[in-house]
């Protein structure tokens, strides 16, 4: 295992070459010396050499207001940052252990703000000429490695899986995957076995904490059950039958006019600057019920200066959905929801130009167009996909047999 990690780290080494740039005297004609280096890259590189004016590891009880005031940044600037954050909604997700860093410019204004979530993700806000901010969500894929876990039932599934090396979160995910097909409390006996194939993310050899379940088999005394993740992110049993109720494309009970499309290149009508529209807008009257498009866990229920009242749901298939400008919540943070369950009522809160639902669909942390996304709307995989899936299953089962 350690050999593979070293290879991963070596592949990432070339990034250090960029540091050489800083040693070149500014008076030289950089463009001629380094034809591939654009002026912008150079400026960004120089900025990072400036020490942050304030850097802090988030602790319980920290609020955005307190962090900005400790950094000496005024309220008005904080609102400009919040406005830019409407695209990503990253500030609300800061957790104890994450890091926030502020940089100023020669005029003493906030120039850059970085949120460090883990080695795989940072969000950076940079000041523009007009005093507004642009946001970059920096996601590093790193190297994913399989981990095979095998164990025998002795006591509950939870205790047995924990003993085999799975953590509480991973056991919960397995439980959620199989609970409609298998009764963990009644169908397991001492001596039954299980195999799990996990996939863990590493950046420069360090685990980021991002993991996913790729396959589970349980060999119970009465029967075997299994779940495998397909390339579409969803889970199916060995026969290609979906384990969760199919996802629905639109989180509404009936059709409403689509008033604004997903558009990553949308330009602001006045400034002409690119302000991506990461969602799809539906012209819904205030009070229209919003339903969960699939099973999941509510990870955010919040009021934001620009997003208004909003809800975030994490689904099992690497999908996250977001609902903005709501008028009323029907769920709590941490609550598990089922497909079709009413989670909120639409509204016109925050920076909104009229009653509507702004709906976002993210896969692996990146917003995509829900109207075009490959959403598994069927209960069973169609023939063509089934062939591909069965190949995935047989190779994963072979790996798991080594566990
Ligand atoms: Zn929108």
Select from 115, 140, 165 the last residue of a domain.
140
333, 276: one domain: yes
- The CA distance from 236 to 233, in Å, is 10
Distance of CA 303 from the midpoint of ligand 1 (Å): 16
328, 353: one domain: yes
What integer pLDDT is reported at residue 155 of this predicted model?
A: 92
Distance of CA 279 from the midpoint of ligand 1 (Å): 5
Strands 143-152 and 193-203: antiparallel
What integer pLDDT is reported at residue 187 of this predicted model?
A: 93
Of 200, 181, 184, 157, nearest in space to 238 by CA: 181
Tokens 């690497």 belong to: 318
Q: Is residue 7 part of a domain?
A: yes
Q: Is residue 87 part of a domain?
A: yes
- The CA distance from 222 to 365, in Å, is 39
179, 237: one domain: yes
- The CA distance from 229 to 236, in Å, is 6
Residues of the chain with pLDDT under 70: 1-48, 403
DSSP characters over 151-166: EE-SS-HHHHHHHHT-
DSSP characters over 288-328: -EEE-SSSEEEEEEEEETTTEEEEEEE-TTSEEEEEEEEEE
157, 128: one domain: no
Query: 52 Cβ partners below 8 Å, 6+ apart?
Result: 101, 102, 103
Question: Is residue 309 within 8 Å of 97, Cβ to Cβ?
Answer: no
Q: Is residue 252 part of a domain?
A: no
The total of structural domains in the chain comes to 4
Question: Is residue 243 within 8 Å of 178, Cβ to Cβ?
Answer: yes
Q: Which domain holds residue 340?
A: 258-368
What integer pLDDT is reported at residue 42 of this predicted model?
A: 47
Sign of CA dihedral 182, 184, 189, 193: positive
What integer pLDDT is reported at residue 337 of this predicted model?
A: 95
82, 135: one domain: yes
Distance of CA 185 from the midpoint of ligand 1 (Å): 45
Distance of CA 357 from the midpoint of ligand 1 (Å): 7
What integer pLDDT is reported at residue 161 of this predicted model?
A: 95
Distance of CA 263 from the midpoint of ligand 1 (Å): 10
Beta strands in 185-270 (DSSP E): 193-203, 206-219, 224-229, 235-236, 258-260
Distance of CA 4 from the midpoint of ligand 1 (Å): 43
The token duo for 344 is 């909120």
Distance of CA 290 from the midpoint of ligand 1 (Å): 15
Question: Is residue 316 within 8 Å of 235, Cβ to Cβ?
Answer: yes
Distance of CA 277 from the midpoint of ligand 1 (Å): 6
Q: Is residue 251 part of a domain?
A: no
What integer pLDDT is reported at residue 25 of this predicted model?
A: 35
Q: Is residue 267 part of a domain?
A: yes
Select from 78, 110, 140 the last residue of a domain.
140
Q: Is residue 374 part of a domain?
A: no
Distance of CA 110 from the midpoint of ligand 1 (Å): 28
Distance of CA 358 from the midpoint of ligand 1 (Å): 4
Distance of CA 281 from the midpoint of ligand 1 (Å): 5
29, 171: one domain: no
55, 108: one domain: yes
7, 100: one domain: no
269, 335: one domain: yes
Q: Is residue 132 part of a domain?
A: yes
Query: 82 Cβ partners below 8 Å, 6+ apart?
Result: 64, 91, 304, 305, 306
DSSP characters over 77-131: HHHHHHHHHTTT--GGG--TT-EEEEEE-TTSSEEEEEEEEETTEEEEEEE-TTS
266, 349: one domain: yes
What integer pLDDT is reported at residue 269 of this predicted model?
A: 72
157, 200: one domain: yes
What integer pLDDT is reported at residue 36 of this predicted model?
A: 45
Q: Is residue 373 part of a domain?
A: no
What integer pLDDT is reported at residue 48 of this predicted model?
A: 56
Distance of CA 121 from the midpoint of ligand 1 (Å): 24
279, 340: one domain: yes
Q: Residue 189: give its domain's CATH number.
A: 3.10.450.350
Distance of CA 278 from the midpoint of ligand 1 (Å): 7
Distance of CA 142 from the midpoint of ligand 1 (Å): 31
């Amino acid at each position: 295992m350690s050999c593979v990690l070293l290879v991963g780290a070596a592949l990432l080494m070339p990034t250090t070459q960029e540091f050489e740039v800083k040693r070149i005297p500014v008076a030289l004609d950089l463009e001629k010396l380094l034809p591939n280096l654009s002026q912008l890259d150079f400026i960004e590189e120089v900025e990072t050499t400036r020490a942050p004016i304030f850097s802090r590891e988030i602790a319980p009880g920290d609020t955005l207001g307190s962090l900005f005031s400790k950094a000496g940044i005024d309220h008005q600037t904080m609102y400009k940052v919040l406005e830019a954050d409407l695209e990503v909604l990253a500030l609300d997700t800061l957790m104890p252990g994450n890091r926030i860093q502020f940089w100023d410019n020669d005029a003493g204004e906030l120039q850059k703000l970085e949120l460090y979530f883990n080695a795989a993700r940072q969000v950076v806000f940079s000041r523009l000429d007009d005093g507004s901010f642009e946001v970059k969500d920096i996601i590093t894929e790193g190297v994913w490695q399989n981990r095979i876990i095998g164990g025998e039932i002795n006591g509950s599934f939870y205790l047995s899986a924990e003993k085999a090396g799975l953590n509480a979160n991973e056991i919960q995910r397995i439980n959620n995957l199989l609970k409609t097909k298998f009764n963990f409390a009644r169908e397991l006996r001492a001596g039954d076995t299980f195999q799990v194939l996990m996939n863990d993310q590493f950046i420069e050899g360090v685990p980021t904490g991002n993991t996913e379940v790729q396959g589970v088999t349980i060999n119970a005394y009465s029967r075997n059950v299994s779940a495998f993740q397909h390339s579409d992110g969803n889970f199916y049993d060995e026969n290609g039958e979906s384990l969760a109720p199919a996802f629905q494309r639109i989180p509404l009970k009936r059709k409403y006019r689509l008033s604004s499309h997903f558009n990553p290149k949308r330009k602001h009508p006045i400034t002409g600057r690119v302000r991506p529209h990461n969602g799809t807008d539906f012209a819904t009257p205030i009070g229209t019920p919003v339903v969960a498009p699939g099973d999941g866990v509510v990870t955010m229920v919040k009021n934001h200066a620009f997003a208004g009242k909003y809800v975030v749901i994490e689904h099992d298939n690497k999908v996250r959905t977001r609902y903005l400008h709501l008028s009323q919540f029907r769920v709590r943070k941490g609550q598990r929801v089922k497909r079709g369950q009413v989670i909120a009522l639409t509204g016109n809160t925050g920076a909104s130009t009229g009653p509507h639902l702004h709906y976002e669909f993210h896969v692996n942390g990146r917003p995509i167009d829900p109207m075009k996304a490959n959403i598994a709307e069927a209960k069973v995989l169609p023939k063509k996909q089934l062939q591909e899936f069965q190949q995935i299953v047989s190779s994963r089962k072979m790996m798991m047999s080594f566990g």
